[in-house]
Structure 1
């Protein structure tokens, strides 16, 4: 009996290592999570002295509860401190020391739907784009806003003054607040040119049947693409092709727009996928390959007819494939529009609801309903990703959806589709569905209109809950694919693939955006007892940004050509976070390392993203390089200025 009681006591209390660090221990056997992660012996040898908690202690704990984000934050904060102390004996990161005396003048947080007319006026060319915006904060200071129309990070006057004060340099609005973000492609001029060239063509005509069959066959034979992008059902789409080509091409009747748009959008999108493109090139040499821009322009023309017809599976597939085409091309504005139309079509067709009743209309009706549900998840994942990229509120509201995962999704999501012993039929989708649900809750809790109006205590509670949910998701991933909490320059991922690259980048993005919300806390200005916990949260956000750059560099060998617009957002977002961290505390030992990351970022991105980049898109990469170079220059000036001021102060004190 004594042995049983002793075992229970040991299971319920922390191991010696966790107790020493004052972090929560899961008491797992044979090692807890902390000891296993750091390769430490997991022992329970200390003598436990039990004492009754006093009432005053309980009250103190209640008062201090809101100052803690979570036990996991403490655990990772300890890791960050240990990493920094290996290279320097300096104090831990303390962003609070960087707040200027005029911090209390920081502009109040703007909600995503309100105008920023309360701030100092900006240039006339930018004013219209700023009419709908979400605030960008760092360490309690609102530096600017992100336009909900374009995703452009505009600097407010307060942000410009802060950067100028930290660097001693005049801020160039043209470089840091351009007319459009350098990571977004502008198609307006090229699209007008294409439309002019299409005047003499039949805009309703389908592509050559041989081309359609060729790409459809290659898509079906591809092992991975139908699982990642399950945009059509093999059987149903084959019927769509047959029905469309039975119709006279010279005529166009009401109800045919959705079918033709679906086929044209399919060829436009699928022909851009590298594995499909390579498969077609290796088997067909005598067929003129399609012009993507011409095809998508035809699909756009047909869209005006699609929305006049009754909602259909073909119409939903067409708009979703156009959404995927635009996001992979860097056209976030068009992505926003098409994503909203696609979501509305899915809702009209009932794809947002899981139908559990028995199917009485045969196998085809069941197949159609399954494809609608699959399209819902494709649309859902894209909607949540675009919302976080642009600050735009998501179109799909979770309360209106049945978010029951597809049968067997959690068990099959990380099986290797190229393993001959595995027969996968369930899609894996562009993003992990569970992570997309966390993205949705993150936007709702932290970045919605109600989210930005929360008090500090409410905001930190939401951050803690989301962080716990994200960690629960991470631990549910099989160890082979599981993202580490952070990724260092010396680390590697032997199981890296395009799937794991997107998984890791989105995991680090979620950490960053969840903890970056702590920058809105009023405690930065008031200097309350919660500041230490907020410091830790912001440190996690910056560390996730560092991990993003390190992982991209380590996974370069698995990145396929043509991912420039798909992946560019992640390093650019990380670089902006690191830039703010350097300016916030330029004398911190890690600021010198971060400056090195800014210096190598351009070289790394050029090496990764410019491979086989079309000549007409080289100019876009140059804009990205110029943007990063300006960040690097200003960060270097901030560090130099801080060292000069410190040296002058030291001389004056003698």
Structure 2
């Protein structure tokens, strides 16, 4: 016990006490009893007792039992761990899901290898597809040969400096094109502040500003070119048209921009050139410009920008992020943006919204969804059970795609018919069309990934799941081909929208018709193939024959003639023996035997490729698994792609998409004047 230093009376009155022992002066003066109380000294807590108590030990063990989240393990970790060891790592092959966008594994869906041509020849009983591909190859080779001898001057890409160009252009025409840009192009790619840009563009001292800043010079003429292209100044061939004359001035100094330090002006200039290069009328340089712009966009995140510059950077960053993710996904390229390093807020962009649709945010969310699929689904997994892992990722991607769909206003929501006559405004109609195409494109990727997973695994994908994926893939392909009638065939249309997504849907439906000629939906599928053929013929007509899209339409004729031939023979399709339902996961083996038995009854293939026989062609198909269905309802899809292997070489063949690309050796943006290249 301890005696307090203040008596009870002084403590109550809150006055200073003389202290123990008493009586104190205040108590003597007031003639009261002076009492000093005692207090109990608190005991110190025994730390060892706390740690050794039963409750403490149970809490500690609970912490130890809590599972720790491990770092993700990739296949490269296996490579490094087993390097220089006696273990045979060569026998352990990575597994990757195929079906991303326009590509399948390391080869494009529009890529016709020798094995695929042999399979189609055996199925069709003729070499029509092979002959068509040879014609396509000749057309592509002829175009490349002509472009190789085309000088840079013929394209208008000359090494004029800003001073030479600033006095030779009609300012009134440029101002008109700038207004057209902000009316027709800017709402889709709102990376500029209109007021700030027009203050520079319409200033009286514009020539002086452009002569002092190469970045402003490139940005100015790229914007003018985009506005001119959106009106009537664009052509389908590079080097032609008034829009190209404006763009050539920006491209002429691109090598000089590459060696300059990062800045917002350079980022905006490269963003404008990227938007132009995405159209079908530009050179195949969009990947280079887009990659360089993406690299600079990430680097500028470390710079402390303020005010309007900060807002302008946020706009440009998210426009580039969206374009880069969507473009690289659909053409099977790795992304430059590192998502886990992104801390840039998404700005409010009134220019990119109309009514209830926030176009800017909607497209950014879609781009992020594609990025998740690229890194989680369409990549080599290092988990112990990668095939089950992939199926779970497919389910998650499908659920998030549906969440994205629901976030869109109900009157323009994908997954329902596209009603252009009920949509007010050109911008909203075009934005809705793109949303529907993007939604269906990713849906096709997930369906193809599921079917490839089913064909290459056992006891992972059920037969019911296979049947549903095949059915959804057919319906989604139909939806894409139905939308081709609404696509604007114009020089400023993105290549992915006008040709990429439609040609993939066409080939999927072509495979379904050839494999299922007596299916109940064959007549509808043939009609849609004809509709798609008309779309690609429109491209050839609008381009004056420079883009031979009618060659794509011939696939529809081949499919229709094949179905008519089988009908005339009285045997609408090869006889498929019905099998009893097999356990889930065995559909691949049962269906493969079924297909091989039918192939034996087919006539020999005329003029088959030398060095290839039937045993070299993977002819596995996916059966919907319901043996009670009639022959009219059976739906098969050919999966004639080999597993992705590390030591696979690029197969011989041709990519149909090269029909819509321009590769001009005379214009190479990869070399700056300091490297001995240039324009």
The interval holding the TM-score normalised by the smaller chain is 0.5 to 0.7
| CA separation of 1:493 and 1:187: change in aligned 2, threshold 3 A | farther
Structure 2 counterpart of 1:547: 479
- What displacement does 1:325 show? 0.8
1:571 aligns with 2:502: yes
1:437 aligns with 2:368: yes
Alpha-carbon distance in 2 for matches of 1:236, 1:550: 41
Root-mean-square deviation (CA), in Å?
Answer: 4.4
Structure number with bigger Rg: 2
1:460 aligns with 2:391: yes
Which of 503, 509, 515 matches 1:584?
Answer: 515
Structure 2 counterpart of 1:400: 341
Count of residue pairs brought into register by the alignment: 465
- What displacement does 1:468 show? 0.7
Whether contact under 8 Å (2:281, 2:491) holds in the other structure is no
- What displacement does 1:231 show? 3.6
**CA deviation string 1:333-355 (max 9, x = no partner):** 3111111011011112118x9x8
Whether contact under 8 Å (1:167, 1:635) holds in the other structure is no
TM-score after normalising by structure 2: 0.59
- What displacement does 1:416 show? 7.0
1:155 aligns with 2:112: yes
- What displacement does 1:644 show? 5.4
SS in 1 for 2:111: strand
- What displacement does 1:414 show? 4.6
**CA deviation string 1:352-383 (max 9, x = no partner):** x9x8xxx8xxxxx3111111111111111111
| CA separation of 1:474 and 1:248: change in aligned 2, threshold 3 A | closer
Structure 1 counterpart of 2:555: 630
Q: Which runs of 5+ in 2 are unaligned?
A: 1-75, 77-95, 235-239, 577-679
Alpha-carbon distance in 2 for matches of 1:482, 1:304: 43
- What displacement does 1:396 show? 1.7
Structure 2 counterpart of 1:206: 165
Structure 2 counterpart of 1:494: 422
| CA separation of 1:632 and 1:166: change in aligned 2, threshold 3 A | same
- What displacement does 1:320 show? 1.3
Structure 2 counterpart of 1:195: 153
**CA deviation string 1:79-120 (max 9, x = no partner):** xxxxxxxxxxxxxxxxxxxxxxxxxxxxxxxx9xxxxxxxxx
Alpha-carbon distance in 2 for matches of 1:293, 1:453: 53
- What displacement does 1:647 show? 7.6
- What displacement does 1:531 show? 2.7
- What displacement does 1:463 show? 1.2
Alpha-carbon distance in 1 for matches of 2:371, 2:573: 48
SS in 1 for 2:503: helix
Alpha-carbon distance in 1 for matches of 2:477, 2:161: 45
**CA deviation string 1:122-164 (max 9, x = no partner):** xxxxxxxxxxxx99669xxx997665xxx68322333223212
TM-score after normalising by structure 1: 0.61
Structure 2 counterpart of 1:415: 355
Whether contact under 8 Å (2:294, 2:336) holds in the other structure is yes
SS in 1 for 2:393: helix
Alpha-carbon distance in 1 for matches of 2:465, 2:208: 66
- What displacement does 1:189 show? 2.0
Whether contact under 8 Å (2:177, 2:227) holds in the other structure is yes
- What displacement does 1:201 show? 7.1
Structure 1 counterpart of 2:194: 234
| CA separation of 1:591 and 1:135: change in aligned 2, threshold 3 A | farther
| CA separation of 1:486 and 1:337: change in aligned 2, threshold 3 A | same
- What displacement does 1:610 show? 6.3
**CA deviation string 1:442-489 (max 9, x = no partner):** 222222344999733222211111111111111122212212x2549x
SS in 2 for 1:155: strand
Structure 2 counterpart of 1:28: none
1:376 aligns with 2:317: yes
| CA separation of 1:522 and 1:158: change in aligned 2, threshold 3 A | farther
Whether contact under 8 Å (1:215, 1:267) holds in the other structure is yes
Alpha-carbon distance in 2 for matches of 1:467, 1:321: 33
Whether contact under 8 Å (1:236, 1:368) holds in the other structure is no
Which of 220, 223, 231 matches 1:263?
Answer: 220
Whether contact under 8 Å (1:444, 1:451) holds in the other structure is no
SS in 2 for 1:247: helix
| CA separation of 1:604 and 1:523: change in aligned 2, threshold 3 A | closer
Alpha-carbon distance in 2 for matches of 1:145, 1:457: 18
- What displacement does 1:175 show? 3.4
